[in-house]
Amino acid sequence: MDTELSHIRENFQENVKSLNNLMNFDDLILSFGIQALERVERFIKRQRIQNPSCDVTKELNQFKQIRSNKSLKPHYQIMLNQCVVLLVSYFSSAVEDIFTTALTFTLKNRESKILSKEDLKLTIADLQAVKFNLSDNIGELFASKKDISFQDMKNIARAFKSYLGFEPPKNKDVNNIILAQACRHAIVHSGAVAKDRTIKQVSLATPREVKENLLIDQRIMFTTDEIITICSSMTNYLDNLIKGMCKNR
């Protein structure tokens, strides 16, 4: 199980890395343009070209100024919000994988008084979908049949406590993730505007480090630093889940 859980964490980190590249896309483009202009500038100096129309110093300084002032960031606002949408999906998928992996391991390797009392109604179609291999797929089937939501922190904590005997602590990391989940819903369904549902969802998510004073009808606009904070909280939460599963096995 250790190898599988480590792979889940590594996969999440790879997804976070791809998001970091996306968040810094503007800097990547600017750096490419600056490097190209610097090559031209060096060539002009080596060749001692005196024609003013060939001088790129002004354009080079403009590019550097744009990068220094992060002037293009506002134009990438939609992209940053979509990074949050992707991040929440990556997190939910990782949590689900940890749960199903740990539950499958538990059922295959030791007696569980909690799980032995659970009913699980399967159809022939369910069995066909896993090619009648219940041993390796019981965790996935269990989560599906119990209709466990991995996009809600309360449901996640309840599932791990009820079925695997581990209760993740409620802390600042959890509150940051709740904020991200609520905003993800608003971005996808409410045009990135905080509605009543958003405010209610985050009302008890305190203390937190991201958007501490979110107001109703406020336009949701994430910054790179906020997304990095959410990434860190999600990583901490996943690490805590993995430690709990390894301890309880």
Residue pLDDT, tens place only, 77-135: 788 999 999 999 999 999 999 999 999 988 887 767 777 677 778 888 877 887 887 77
Q: Which amino acid is at 13?
A: Q
pLDDT surpasses 80 at 184:
yes
Neighbours of 1 (CB within 10 A): 17
Q: Evaluate the omega torsion of the peptide bond into residue 207 and state whether it is cis, within 30 degrees of 0.
A: yes
Asked if 20 and 13 count as a contact pair (C-beta separation under 8 A), the reply is no
What was the pLDDT predicted at 130?
78
Dist. CA 173–CA 176, nearest whole Å: 5
Closest CA to 76 of 35, 30, 43, 108: 30
Give residue 53's pLDDT.
77
Structure tokens at 199: 């405010």
* Beta-carbon-side half-sphere exposure of residue 92 (alpha carbons within 13 Å): 19
Query: Above 70 in pLDDT, residue 213?
Result: yes
Query: C-alpha 25: how far from its chain's center?
Result: 18
pTM over 0.85: no
pLDDT of res. 71:
66
Q: Please, what is the Cα angle at 44 between 42 and 47, to 5 degrees?
A: 105
Closest to 178 measured CA to CA, from 144, 217, 196, 205: 205
- pLDDT at position 205: 94
Cβ contacts of 142 within 8 Å, gap of 6 or more: 100, 103, 118, 120, 163
**C-alpha distances out from residue 25 to 53, 147, 165, 205, 229, Å:** 30, 38, 43, 31, 19
Selection from 189, 191, 183, 193 nearest residue 229 by Cα: 183
Instruction: Write out the two tokens for 55.
Output: 């001088």
Say what percent of the chain tops pLDDT 90: 50
At residue 20, does pLDDT exceed 70? yes
Assess contact for 69 and 212: CB atoms under 8 A.
no
Q: How confident is the model at residue 178 (pLDDT cuts 50, 70, 90)?
A: very high
What pLDDT is attached to residue 174?
Answer: 97
Question: Please, which pLDDT band fits residue 249 given cuts at 50, 70 and 90?
Answer: low
- Token pair for residue 5? 């859980």
